[in-house]
Structure 1
């Protein structure tokens, strides 16, 4: 499987997990709870781990730099697609969600949709970098036979 397919497949996995969790939270009336947003990092970690694991097992790539590239690529694309999902949700499904986000202590204040998206992208990229480094600590000294 090509590196690009692994990245896209697992980025979509991240988006589906984050989106599914949001829809479950919405159904339970918890979409305004800012603490639940921290769980998105877990979904990013799962997607990154799966991408690196696939790259190691299927492509026999055990080099740190190459797997780190897969990890970063997967997480960044996943975050960007998730942010696009937030934009679509606010613009076409629930415009009032912007005010819910504005009332969150994590956003705080009266921000525009573009400021919110910028904040989400920066927050997502930070979690992507941290998540990729966390996952790569596991894979840095392991060969294919050990994983």
Structure 2
């Protein structure tokens, strides 16, 4: 375990309440526990952007609303209990464009960790993707965690 504060990495995790983002949280906590890093989790609630003169919300990046009654703090506590991980995890909640907020927060991070789903190519083309934009524009390494592959590259993988 890394006990040197000069070499401790700062892992930033983007969360949206999906199963994929919970796998990203799980991966980051597992990684941080194994090597002594710090974890910060950012959930960005998108603003409702209305088209002028209509009642339709414009969601330019195909954002999925956060599940009703979802508590990031409760999810993190549950994941830490499941993993028996005794590390400090910081959670933050912001409102705005998820891509912009994640990229801004990632400027101070050593690694950005995001969950990624299995949208079809057409779905990605039509709706865009926060993770794709983060991969293209982040100033730090980006780890994309899928629910299918989360077990393959992990400090606890067998």
TM (norm. structure 2) is: 0.34
Larger strand share, 1 or 2: 2
Larger helix share, 1 or 2: 1
TM (norm. structure 1) is: 0.37
